[in-house]
């Protein structure tokens, strides 16, 4: 497995949690196959979080390009927050009292 820094590991974990980001996309970006992603998740998540993630992705069609019903495009919710330097950016706006 490659030497990955904390930012890369955080991004891999984020991509692995996303429903529509495939293991193939993670491989194209980081060169890690599915079993290596599972290993990273196991090492970096709490045991309960890892079990929840495995239950969530096992058998999920959207995590494998070959099993998907759609091929092009990527869904992104308009409310999905952007990530900036390993931190989720806060919404801009005034504070409410």
pLDDT 10s digits, 21-54: 888 889 999 999 999 999 999 999 999 999 999 9
Q: Looking at residues 57-81, what average pLDDT do you find?
A: 59
| Residue appearing with tokens 């590991």 | 9
Q: What is the mean pLDDT of the chain?
A: 75
H or E element in which residue 17 lies? helix 6-17
Q: Residue 77 has what pLDDT?
A: 54
CA distance 28 to 40: 16
Q: Where are the domains of the chain?
A: 1-64
Report residue 89's pLDDT band, with 50, 70 and 90 as the boundaries.
very low
| pLDDT > 60? residue 92 | no
């Amino acid at each position: 497995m490659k030497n990955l820094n904390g930012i890369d590991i955080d991004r891999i974990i984020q991509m692995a949690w996303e429903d529509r980001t495939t293991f193939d996309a993670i491989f194209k970006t980081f060169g890690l196959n599915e079993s290596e992603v599972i290993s990273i998740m196991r090492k970096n998540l709490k045991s309960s979080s890892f079990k929840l993630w495995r239950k969530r992705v096992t058998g999920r069609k959207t995590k494998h390009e070959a099993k998907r019903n759609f091929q092009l495009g990527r869904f992104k919710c308009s409310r999905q927050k952007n990530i900036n330097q390993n931190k989720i950016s806060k919404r801009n706006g005034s504070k409410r009292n």
